[in-house]
Structure 1
């Protein structure tokens, strides 16, 4: 039996939404795990620090996702990928101004690393 374009579209849409939910759930789990880490103190007003803390956690979790994806794509480069990941995390953690995290909140991790983090090193 042949499926209609509408049925196929519904299935594809449901699959994409399920993948997005799974990725969001994984990101939330990574953020919660990062909350337990001792991270450098952010500087700014109380309100800025609260907001920037969440932004920073999300970006660190996104970095972890990038590292996991790279490890899956290049399993023979584990040492190099993990070392690079540690270096990137160190660069992100050098950003201690809450206002900076707020300003770059819409940037991808790649953009942050290539611009803002480079200036802080």
Structure 2
């Protein structure tokens, strides 16, 4: 059970890093600030992939791993298509990207909190 708690903690941590990095978009300036911003987002993305690689087989087994990976990748690709649309709608509505960026950052923070309450799935025998 300790492994499950570690996976949940790591997931929440990396999503939280993503939320803080994304929320800091408005403070990015050329030079060192841009490099640090890129590093924070890179750490969050790489960490999330590493945790996903360990968490999916741990929680769901390896029998349906391909299906789960396909689903998670489909959601990831869809989110990269929807994110810019949401940001452009926010800019059209408010004249600034800030409300959209902050809204998406708050969504990441909400996911980081929600992960802490996730339960381990029950394995059914067929």
Range class of TM-score, shorter chain: 0.3 to 0.5
TM-score, normalised by the number of residues in structure 2? 0.36
Choose between structure 1 and 2 for higher RCO, CA contacts under 8 A separated by at least 6 residues: 2
Higher gyration radius (CA): 1
TM-score, normalised by the number of residues in structure 1? 0.37
